[in-house]
């Protein structure tokens, strides 16, 4: 089932794009698929966005998806976390 967008997702997506990354939103895929895929400097990153003021733990379907995925997926809760994943300092873009 497709999930709703976490309240912090638009700000995280905007900051990643401002840093020069490509971002494709995947939250509508559902079935435990991460919220976004980010391309930056030739590398792809799968990010699961969690709202620090909401449900922080992964759902059953997210745990199952993460458990079977043969690549990396990172859980982030804020802009700083997301930029850190792609190795960009927030100060570099603001």
Domain containing residue 51: 9-89
Give the whole-angstrom CA distance, residue 78 versus residue 68.
Answer: 25
Give the DSSP letter of residue 6.
Answer: P
Residue 71: inside a domain: yes
Instruction: Work out how many domains the chain is built from and give that number.
Output: 1
Here the CATH number for the domain that contains residue 73 is: 3.40.1350.10
For residue range 43-93, what is the model confidence (pLDDT) as tens digits?
999 999 999 888 889 999 999 999 999 999 999 999 999 999 999 876 665
pLDDT tens-digit readout, 5-43: 889 999 999 999 999 999 999 989 999 999 999 999 999
15 inside domain: yes
Residues with Cβ within 8 Å of 44's Cβ and at least 6 positions away in sequence, in order, are: 37, 38
Residue 25 lies in a domain: yes
């Amino acid at each position: 089932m497709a999930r709703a967008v976490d309240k912090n997702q638009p700000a995280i997506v905007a900051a990643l794009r401002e840093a020069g990354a490509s971002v494709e939103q995947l939250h509508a895929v559902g079935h435990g698929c991460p919220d976004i895929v980010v391309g930056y400097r030739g590398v792809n990153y799968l990010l699961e966005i969690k709202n620090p003021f909401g449900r922080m733990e992964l759902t059953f379907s997210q745990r199952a998806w993460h458990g079977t995925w043969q690549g990396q997926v990172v859980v982030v809760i804020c802009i700083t976390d997301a930029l850190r994943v792609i190795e960009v300092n927030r100060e570099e873009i603001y």
